Structure 1
Amino acid sequence: MYIVEIFLPIMSFDWQFSGIISILIACVSFLLAIAAVIQFKQQRTTVNPITPSSASSLVSGGVFRLSRNPMYLAMFGILLAWGIWLENFASLILMFGFIPYMNRFQIYPEETAMRQLFGSNYLDYCQKVKRWL
């Protein structure tokens, strides 16, 4: 995003609140990520997204009642904060590629593993809680 901001300065905007808004979004995003990691640790299950099949329990409480993927939502929030901080429309537009990328290459494989591990409990959870928000 920073490189886009350098090469497309014409897409820049000046917003007097960009600093405070980006800091607020980043702080909320970091808190969301920390809360999600704490929940994984409390359930004594893996936080490692590379090996979802090693999950020992289905985490569905706390921040996981708001989103099935609060850590990825936090990452998106950090990207959003950075895009606002850079004050560049191109950076903000490009960051929306994060969602389809994460859906395809990370979340869908994780969901497949969770369905195999937790069956109907996971399907019930999916009916109650959205993938992102």
Structure 2
Amino acid sequence: MILFAFLFGYVTLVIELVFFHVPSVANTSNFFVKNKNYPKVESALIQTIYRWPFIKKIMVLLIPTILVNSYFLFSFFYFYPMADSFQIFKPAYGLQLLGVLFVLLGRGITFGSMLYIRKENKQKNDSFKLHTKGIFKYSRNPGLDGMFLFFIGFGLIFPTYISWIGLIGYFIYMLFRVRIEEEFLKELFKQEYTDYCLKTKRFLLF
């Protein structure tokens, strides 16, 4: 059961990253080398980040990105022979079952939202389209909602300090990325995006 959750979670994650790339102005590499296909924006926040000294970009953008990517792989530590000694407590079967459910549901939401974007917009040449229907009617960031559930699930299956501290760090960092993305979308789609924000929550729960 837990092995299936791992396989499903990470196989779909790899497929998503390799075959269903969705462009984002908040992408770390974009602040080191501007993507010429992205529309020019005048957002004060985005322009400020572009002007950051190289060392600040390393500290605030690149290092957190590396840590987040490392956090993606931490769950595999579950299979380490002495992994039990790192757990905060021994999770009950029911708690692990709930964790498996969260992992499957989270990846289903994220993967489904990526497929929806691809179906509605082929994203050729890093083009952008505002999605407001389907699952995007209930959350402006369903892909992140799914990832939060995914990591909460693994935190229940394998409850360690790193699992939960990493989750908090991941959430804070992604909020920063979302704020950058929102500044970009406000400028690109103007009133249409403002109206969308008034009707739809940033995340499913808030």
Deviates more, 1:25-34 or 1:37-46: 37-46
TM-score by length of 2: 0.53
The whole-number CA distance in structure 1 between the counterparts of 2:89 and 2:162 is: 8
The whole-number CA distance in structure 1 between the counterparts of 2:104 and 2:147 is: 11
**Alignment partner of 1:113 out of 181, 184, 189:** 184
The whole-number CA distance in structure 2 between the counterparts of 1:31 and 1:112 is: 28
The structural deviation recorded for 1:19 is 2.5
Structure 1 unmatched runs, 5+: none
**Identical residues among aligned pairs (%):** 24
Measured against aligned partners, the alpha-carbon deviations of 1:27-49 in whole angstroms (never above 9, x if no partner) come to 111111122112211221539xx
Is 2:116 the partner of 1:26? no
Measured against aligned partners, the alpha-carbon deviations of 1:32-70 in whole angstroms (never above 9, x if no partner) come to 1122112211221539xxx6xx31x21011111121111
Aligned length: 125
> Do the aligned partners of residues 18 and 89 (structure 1) sit closer, same or farther apart at CA in structure 2, a change above 3 Å counting?
farther
> Do the aligned partners of residues 90 and 34 (structure 1) sit closer, same or farther apart at CA in structure 2, a change above 3 Å counting?
closer
TM-score by length of 1: 0.79
The structural deviation recorded for 1:96 is 2.0
**Alignment partner of 2:119 out of 42, 58, 66:** 42
Structure 2 unmatched runs, 5+: 1-73, 78-82
Amino acid at match of 2:150: I
Map 1:1-133; keep pairs closer than 5 Å: 1=74, 9=86, 11-46=88-123, 54-55=127-128, 57-88=129-160, 91-104=163-176, 106-133=177-204
Following TM superposition, where does structure 1 have runs of at least 4 consecutive aligned residues deviating by more than 4 angstroms? Answer: none
Larger Rg: 2
